[in-house]
Structure 1
Amino acid sequence: MSSAPASAPAPTHPPHEHYLSGILLASAGAIFFSAKAVVAKLLYREGIDAVTLLALRMLLATPVFLLVALWTSARSPRLSRRDLMRVGMLGVIGYYGSSMLDFIGLQYITAGLERLILFLTPSFVLLLGVFVFKRGVTGRQWLSMGFAYAGIVLVFSHDVSLGGANVVLGAGFVLAAAVLYAIYLLYSGELIQRVGTLRLVALAMSMSSILSIGQYLLLREPLSLIRQSAEVWTLSAINASLCTALPVFLTMFGVARAGAGNAAQAGMIGPISTLFLAWWILGEPLTAMQGVGTGLVLVGIYLLSTRRLPAITP
Structure 2
Amino acid sequence: MTEPTDGETNNHGESAIRFRSGVVLAIVGTFLFALKSIFIKLAFAEGVGATLLLTLRMFLALPFYVFVFWSLRSRADRKPIATSDLVRSLGLGFLGYYLASYLDLSGLEYISAQLERLTLFTYPAMVALLAWLFLGEKIDRRIIAAIALCYFGVVMMYGQEQALTSSSDVRFGVALVVGAALSYSFYILFAKPTMQRIGSREFTSLAMIGSTFFVGVHFAITDPIASVLNVNPIVYVYGFVLAFVCTVLPSFMINEAIVRIGATRTTVIGSVGPVLTMGLAIGILGEPTSIQHIGGMVIAILGVSFVAKK
**TM-score, length of structure 1 as denominator length:** 0.91
Q: How many residues align?
A: 296
The aligned counterpart of 1:191 is 194
The aligned counterpart of 1:201 is 204
The aligned counterpart of 2:8 is none
1:237 to 236, 240, 252: 240
The aligned counterpart of 2:39 is 39
Matches within 5 A, 1:94-243: 94-163=96-165, 164-243=167-246
Runs of 4+ in 1 over 3 A off after TM superposition: none
* Alignment-mate amino acid for residue 118 of structure 2: L
Aligned partners of 1:133 and 1:266: how far apart in 2?
Answer: 27
The aligned counterpart of 1:50 is 50
Shift of residue 73 of structure 1?
Answer: 2.4
The aligned counterpart of 1:93 is 95
Matches within 5 A, 1:267-306: 267-306=270-309
Shift of residue 70 of structure 1?
Answer: 1.3
Shift of residue 224 of structure 1?
Answer: 2.2
Worse overlay, 13-22 or 189-198: 13-22
Shift of residue 287 of structure 1?
Answer: 1.3
Shift of residue 114 of structure 1?
Answer: 0.7
Aligned partners of 1:172 and 1:43: how far apart in 2?
Answer: 22
Aligned partners of 1:251 and 1:210: how far apart in 2?
Answer: 24
Aligned partners of 2:158 and 2:110: how far apart in 1?
Answer: 12
* Alignment-mate amino acid for residue 100 of structure 1: Y
What stretches of structure 1 of length at least 5 have no aligned partner? 1-11, 308-314
Same amino acid, percent of matched pairs:
31
**1:218-256 C-alpha deviation (Å, 9 max, x unpaired):** 221112213322111111111111111111111112112
Paired residues of 2:127 and 2:188 also in contact (CA < 8 A): yes
What stretches of structure 2 of length at least 5 have no aligned partner? 1-10
The aligned counterpart of 2:7 is none
Aligned partners of 1:217 and 1:138: how far apart in 2?
Answer: 46
* Alignment-mate amino acid for residue 133 of structure 1: L
* Alignment-mate amino acid for residue 109 of structure 1: I
Paired residues of 2:164 and 2:288 also in contact (CA < 8 A): no
CA-based RMSD of the aligned residues comes to: 1.5
The aligned counterpart of 2:254 is 251
The aligned counterpart of 1:20 is 20
The aligned counterpart of 1:79 is 81
Shift of residue 59 of structure 1?
Answer: 1.3
Shift of residue 19 of structure 1?
Answer: 1.4
Shift of residue 209 of structure 1?
Answer: 1.2
**1:256-289 C-alpha deviation (Å, 9 max, x unpaired):** 2111111111111100000000001110012111
Worse overlay, 177-186 or 73-82: 73-82
